[in-house]
Structure 1
Amino acid sequence: MFDIKKAAESNSVAFLMSMFFRIKYVVVISAISIDIKALLITETLLRNTRKNKSFAENPAKLLS
């Protein structure tokens, strides 16, 4: 898949660029997964709010 020794021996700039792009893709994928989790949490809270009208009237009940 990715040979670190070969890349380091052939050209250090190419090696650094390839590592940079790998890290960039990992960060983007992590951000997308965190965003999806936040959407799921928000959707769950909204669904619970619709079910429980007293929570909608008094949000402090969630904290107690």
Structure 2
Amino acid sequence: MASTLVRPRSGRVIAGVCAALADRFGLSRGLMRVAFVLFGLFGVGELVYLVAWVVIPKAP
């Protein structure tokens, strides 16, 4: 499990939010992306993604 939460510069699809969360918590990036899609269909996933995009810093 990674010790910090940063958006990676490689291996990301849109902004790297799902990749950052998956790396931080030791989950599959694909699983995290599917979870965000489902959360978006049944909740406020888009809003959470946008907030995370702003809040999570980009890797150096």
TM over 0.5: no
| TM-score normalised by the chain length of structure 1 | 0.28
| TM-score normalised by the chain length of structure 2 | 0.30
Q: Of Structure 1 and Structure 2, which has the larger fraction of its residues in helix?
A: 1
Larger radius of gyration: 1
